Structures are given as structure tokens and as C-alpha cells.
Amino acid sequence: MESHTIAPNKVVSLSYSLTLSSGELADHATEEQPLLFIHGIGQTLPAFDDQLEGLSVGDTFSFTLSAEDGYGTSNPNFIVDLPKNIFEGPDVPQDILQVGAMLPMQDQDGNPMDGRVIELTDTDVKMDFNHPLADEALIFEGTVIHIREASAEELEHGHVHGEGGHDH
């Protein structure tokens, strides 16, 4: 008998809203376009998984994650000044440098990371590589739509396949 509660290695489909303490809606998923993920394998915040554990189809949820359980607190070391000339050249769009813009960057090991432009001078670009939701309490409300076992292939690939997931 298949268990119909959220547990590790289950594919979970849910609708939700993510609101910040300011009341700003930061993210949402609808019943028509739900969030699909494999529970307990690191696709979502661990504290988010913990809050959903044991819920069943049709259950509603409402919980708040602290900044520490969410995307962490800001690290001042993640705010850096970069020379403006690295953003110049034939492959770089002319208007890329705007305060508030999120830019895809790479660390020294070539790993992708997003940085937000927070200040521009004649020679430098000050960028913040903290998560955009660092320091924020995250308020989740939603409904569990569907639960099923993840296939061996989904577990091996680390993501949901088929309807609403990845097609290879």
C-alpha cells in the first residue's frame, strides 16, 4: 500500500504563496502550475521539507521560516567591489550595469552565482552576492495537491520527470 503522506523520496506537488514579513509576495505556485519537487533530497530548504513532512493530499499548511532556516543572514564578505572594465567588451550588453540588476557571474572556480549591482562609480561596480532573500523571514501558505513515489530514474537524476517536470 503506497503511503499518501509526504516523506523522503516522494514527488510532491503543491500550490503555495511565499510572503515576506513586509507583506511583499516573493513567490507563488498555482494548482495549474504547481511546485514539483522530490522531498528530502535537497531540492528545497531543509526547514521547508521538515514543515511538510507527514502532510497528506488536500492538507493546507502555513508556517514561517526564520532567516537562519531560510536563505541565511547577509554576509558582509559577499559584498565586493569589482573593476568596471570587466563588464566592458563586445560580448557584454551596453546597458547591463544598472543599480538593482541581477547579473549572472562566476566565482574563481567557474561556479555560477548571481550578483546584484548595488552601487556604480566611474571605476568600480559594487555587487552583493548574498541571496536576494537573505535576512528575510519566509511565510509559506499552501495546499498539498499530489504525492507519489519518485521513480528510480528521478532519484538518480535528482529531479522530477514527466508532467510538470523535466523531459529528456
For residue range 89-139, list pLDDT tens digits in order.
888 777 889 999 999 898 889 888 899 999 999 999 999 999 999 999 999
For residue range 4-31, list pLDDT tens digits in order.
899 999 999 999 999 999 999 999 999 9
| Residue 106: per-residue pLDDT | 86
Residue 165 within any structural domain of the chain: no
| Residue 48: per-residue pLDDT | 97
65 and 90 part of one domain: no
Q: 91: exposed, middle or buried (C-beta count within 10 Å: 0-12, 13-18, 19+)?
A: exposed
Q: Above 50 in pLDDT, residue 74?
A: yes
- Domain extent at residue 142: 10-71+134-157
16 and 98 part of one domain: no
110 and 139 part of one domain: no
Question: Contact, 39 vs 52, CB < 8 A?
Answer: yes
Predicted TM-score of the model (pTM): 0.81
Phi, psi (rounded to 5 degrees) for 96: -65, -30
Q: Above 70 in pLDDT, residue 1?
A: no
Long-range Cβ contact pairs of 155-160 (< 8 A, separation 24 or more): 155/9, 155/38, 155/41, 158/38, 158/41, 158/43, 159/38, 159/43, 160/11, 160/36, 160/37, 160/38
Residue 113 within any structural domain of the chain: yes
- Residue 12's alpha-carbon distances to 2, 64, 118, 147, 159, in angstroms, are 14, 20, 37, 5, 11
124 and 148 part of one domain: no
Question: Contact, 73 vs 131, CB < 8 A?
Answer: no
67 and 18 part of one domain: yes
Q: What is the CATH number of the domain that holds 95?
A: 2.40.10.330
Domain total for the chain?
2
